[in-house]
Amino acid sequence: METLPGLLLGFGVALIFVHCAKSALQKASNLPYPPGPRPLPILGNIRQAPASFPWLTYQEWARPIVHFQAFNNHTIIINSATVANDLLEKRSQIYSDRPQIPMTTMMGWDFALGFIPYGSRWRQYRRILHQYLRREASLDYRAIELKKIHDMLRLFLVSPTDFYAHIRSLAAAIIMSTVYNYDIKPTNDPFVDLAEASLQRLGASVFPGAMFVNLLPWLRHFPGWLPGFGFQAFCADTRVLTQRMTRDPYVYAQQNMLEGRDTSSMVAKILASGKAQGDSKIIAEVAGVAFAAGADTTVSAVTTFILAMATNPDIQRKAQVEIDNVVGSHRLPDFSDREELPYIEAVYREVLRWRPVSSFRFLRDCLLLTSLQGQSSMPNYKVITFLQGPRSFRIFGLLELVVVVDGDNTLFRAMCHDESIYPEPDKFKPERFLSDNGKVTSDPRMNIMAFGHGRRVCVGQHLADDSVWASIVSILSVFNIAKARDSSGKEIDIPGGYSDLLISHPEPFDCAITPRSSKTQTLIEDTANRDYSDTVRS
C-alpha cells in the first residue's frame, strides 16, 4: 500500500505536469493564425471554400502560409518549400496523419493508402505494398512493362488518332498484369471499367469544398431523401462500384493461384507469403490500392509527354538524335540504356515538372502541438499540399507536394515553377535538368519531386518511374509526333488546358503520330513475336 507522503508527492508531480502542459498549450494557442481571407462570424470561410479548381482560389489568397476555417475546423495551406520541407520531411513523424474526408468513407474509398490515418492499419498496408513495389521487387515487372508498351506502339500504328485510348489501355494493362496477372480486353474491359467509374467519382468529390459534407461531416447522418442530400445516393452507388473494383479482380487472381495458373502476380505472392494472415479483405484492398494509385497517373504523364512533343518539335528531334546515337536503329531501347540517355532523362523529368499529374493533394493532420514559424499549428490543423502555377495547378504522384508562392502576391508559383530554380518555368525546357557537361544535374533542389514527401511518399514510385520513362523513350525511338492539320493543311492549335479532377488530364487534343521510317515500322511490328524473358532487370 502506498504511504500518504508518497501519494501526496505523486499528486504534486501530476499537478505540476498538468500546469506546465496547460501553460504550453495556452502559449501556443495565443500565437496568431497564419494570414488568410477574413472569416465571417461562426461560418468562418465556408462560403469561400472552392468547389472546383481550388488552386485558383488559393492563388487569390497567396501567402507563404495561408489559414482558413469552416466553422471551428482550421486548415493551413503550405505555400513555401522551406516550410514544407521542415514539416513534411524533417518532422514527418507528426505530420504524416490523415484527417477523415467524409466522402471517401461514404464512397468506400477509406481503404486507400492515401486516405488511411497514420497508425497500425496504415503501416500494415504500406508494409505489404512496399514488399512487392520496392526498387528490387519492381525490377521483376520490367518485362511486363516493356511488353505492354510495345503492344501500345503497335496500336499507334493501326489507329494513331486514338492515342489517348491506347495510353489508357497501356496503364491499365501494366497494373492489372503485375497485380492480378490479368490481360485486359482492348475495349470495355469489365475490371477496368469498374475502376475508372469509381475513380472518376472519387476525383470529383474529395476537395474540401467539393461537397458540403466534407466541411460539415455531421451532414452524413441526414437521410438522402431530404432536399440537398442527393450525395447520399451518389455515395451508395459509388460504394458498390468500389467494392466490386477491389473484390472482382482479387477473386480472379485468387482462383488462378489456387489452380496453379499464377505464381507471379502481386496477389499470388501475398497469398503465398501469408503476410496478410489469409485475410482476403486486406489482400483485395491492398491490391485495389495498387491499381487505383498507378493507372490514372501514368495516363496523365504519358499524355502530357505527347502534348509536349507535339508543341516542341526541336526538343523531340534532339531527343531522337540521342536515341539514334546510343541505341541505333536495329532495336528498340530498353532499361539498360537509361544511364546512357541523359537528354531522355531530362525530358522525362521535365514532363513531371512542367505539367504534374494531380490537381490537389490530400490533407495532413498534425499529431502534436507545434508551431509553424511563429504561427500556431494546432493538432486539428490540416496541411494542404499541391503544386503548379500560375494558371492551372497539377502534380504527379499519389500523395504530397507543395506550393511555392511568390512574395509579391501577383504570381502564384509552385515548387516546380519556382523561377529561382527553374527559369522560365512555363516553358518546356529539358536542358534545365542537365549540367554543363551534358549529364543529369546533381543539384538536390532538382531531384524528382513527383512522388511526395516524408512517410507519405508514393509507395509505387519505382513502378511508375519505370513505366513512364520506358513509354517516353519507346515512343520517341519509333514515332514522330506533330500537331494535326486540317483539310487545308493548316496546323490545328492545341489548347493546353487540363481537367479539374484529383488526377488532372490534358483536355482532348488532336495530333499526328507517324512512324519515323519504314525500318522503325518493321521494328514495331516485330515486337508481336518478341520473347521478353531476357529483359534487363538492373
For 161-203, give the secondary structure using H, E and C.
HHHHHHHHHHHHHHHHHHHHCCCCCCCCCHHHHHHHHHHHHHH
Q: How far apart are the first and last CA of the chain?
A: 66
255 phi/psi in degrees, rounded to 5: -65, -45
310-327 pLDDT, tens digit per residue, is 999 999 999 999 999 999
- Strands 370-372, 73-78: parallel, antiparallel or unpaired by DSSP? unpaired
Query: Per mean pLDDT, which range of 269-273, 289-293, 374-378, 388-392 is the poorest?
Result: 388-392
What's the pLDDT at 479?
98
Say if residue 511 carries a ligand binding annotation: no
DSSP string, 249-279: HHHHHHHHHHTTS-SSSHHHHHHHHTTTTT-
Dist. CA 299–CA 471, nearest whole Å:
11
What's the pLDDT at 359?
47
Residue type, 115: F
Q: Which residues does 504 contact at the CB level (< 8 Å), separation at least 6?
A: 300, 357, 358, 359, 392, 394, 498
Dist. CA 128–CA 113, nearest whole Å:
11
How high does pLDDT run on average in the chain?
Answer: 78
Residue type, 333: P
Residue type, 40: L
Evaluate whether 133 touches 462 at the Cβ level (below 8 Å): yes
- Is the entire prediction scored with pTM above 0.85? no
**What average pLDDT does this structure show over 427-450?**
85
Residue type, 4: L
Dist. CA 370–CA 420, nearest whole Å:
30
Beta bridge partners of 40: 44
Buried b / exposed e across 172-210, counting CB within 10 Å, b at 16+? bbbbbbbbbbbebeeeebebbebbbbbbbbbbbbbbbbb
All three cell numbers of 174, joined, read 501494366
- Residue of 56, 81, 163, 97 whose CA lies nearest to 368: 97
Evaluate whether 404 touches 417 at the Cβ level (below 8 Å): yes
Instruction: Name the pLDDT band for 1 (thresholds 50, 70, 90).
Output: very low
- Residue of 68, 35, 89 whose CA lies nearest to 399: 89
**What average pLDDT does this structure show over 428-440?**
94
Q: Which residues does 421 contact at the CB level (< 8 Å), separation at least 6?
A: 445, 446
Rg of the chain on CA atoms, in Å: 25
Instruction: Name the pLDDT band for 421 (thresholds 50, 70, 90).
Output: confident
**Cα separation values, 427 from 233, 331, 432, Å:** 44, 32, 10
What's the pLDDT at 458?
76
Q: What is the dihedral angle through the alpha carbons of 236, 238, 239, 240, rounded to the nearest 10 degrees?
A: 90
112-129 pLDDT, tens digit per residue, is 877 777 778 888 888 888
Omega of the bond leading into 390 within 30 degrees of 0 (cis): yes
**What average pLDDT does this structure show over 443-455?**
66
CATH of domain 30-529: 1.10.630.10
Q: Which residues does 11 contact at the CB level (< 8 Å), separation at least 6?
A: none
**Cα separation values, 207 from 103, 240, 504, Å:** 9, 22, 13
**What average pLDDT does this structure show over 466-476?**
97
Burial bucket for residue 378 (CB in 10 Å: 0-12, 13-18, 19+): middle
227-263 pLDDT, tens digit per residue, is 988 899 999 999 999 999 999 999 999 999 989 998 8
29-43 pLDDT, tens digit per residue, is 455 667 778 888 877
Dist. CA 61–CA 267, nearest whole Å:
45
**Cα separation values, 176 from 287, 336, 338, Å:** 10, 25, 25
127-156 pLDDT, tens digit per residue, is 888 898 899 999 999 999 999 999 999 999
Phi-psi region of 485 (alpha: psi -120 to 50; beta: other; left: phi over 0): beta
All three cell numbers of 449, joined, read 519531386
